[in-house]
Homo-oligomer: A and B are copies of this chain.
């Protein structure tokens, strides 16, 4: 009963990131009814905290969870952050592997899976589109956009079903999103406890939460001091691999290897460069694109020996 090789490969398929995570939603943390809902809270709240932090706003977050039926909820989330420019709305909410968290700051969220992961879970369990509201500054103007969108799993993009502009006097973003097969709980792993701990860790944040029984919890901020925006901390040389250096070399437009190192890594001074040059015999004025793996490795080795 031997099958032909060509037959075997007829079934060869390429998946988009959305299709992949549709099949492997546990990789996004979506396992178990209670935990899945907590992950949703986590993704939405961390997104709000990060966005507010980026622009120096004291976060004001509201979340309402309405029970629509057994294991069936409508979640309404809104923040006072900077909002999302219209052209990025579907990228943020409907595209896996797209995200803005690629500066080297200590950010809370994951790498571009968060909001899109929530929309995917919603769609997989309810088939419903989500409603997104974004209020943002476009130059000196404030713009308000409300969109109804679905995630096109096969293309890993968003489909806009409806789009309305509205007037606004502030910034912020928010989402109305339905879930089934999730469960709200007061347990350790539940969504309430997640919020309670989040406000402890973020004393400058205010979160208002209306639970499925209609009870409203206000977690007021403990301080009005906006935490300083984390500086973009450059990677420490001792944490850098040869692969990282090659990756930097391929992406840069710097003309000299030494400038790339000094500008991309922390604590690499001109005297360190000289030290490396002497120890490795490598011409630090070389073009980054010409750096070989061996040369990158020799630099990493020198970094490791740095005091």
Contact = CB atoms under 8 A, between A and B. Distances in A.
A11 B100 contact: yes
Nearest to A294: B127
A296 interface: yes
Interface in A1-31: 1-6, 8-9, 11-17, 19-20, 22-24, 27
A250 B19 CA distance: 14
Given A15-B97, A23-B111, A97-B17, A88 B9 contact: yes
Nearest to A57: B2
Interface stretch (A35-43, A183-191, A241-249, A259-267): A241-249
Contact of A20 (B4, B15, B111): B111
A208 interface: no
A112 interface: yes
Interface stretch (A118-126, A199-207, A211-219, A278-286): A118-126
A189 to B, nearest CB: 21
Interface of A: 1-6, 8-9, 11-17, 19-20, 22-24, 27, 51, 54-57, 82-85, 88, 91, 95, 97-100, 102-103, 111-112, 123-128, 136-138, 153-154, 171, 229, 241-243, 246-247, 250, 293, 296-297
B85 A14 contact: no
A293 B293 CA distance: 53
A24 B138 CA distance: 34
10 tightest A-B contacts by CB?
A127-B293, A15-B97, A5-B82, A124-B243, A14-B98, A12-B100, A3-B55, A2-B56, A5-B136, A1-B56
B2 A55 contact: yes
Contacts of A246: 127
Contacts of A125: 241, 243
A61 to B, nearest CB: 18
A234 to B, nearest CB: 15
Nearest to A10: B100
B13 A296 contact: no
B14 A91 contact: yes
Contact of A12 (B2, B54, B88): B88
Contacts of A24: 111
Contacts of A297: 127
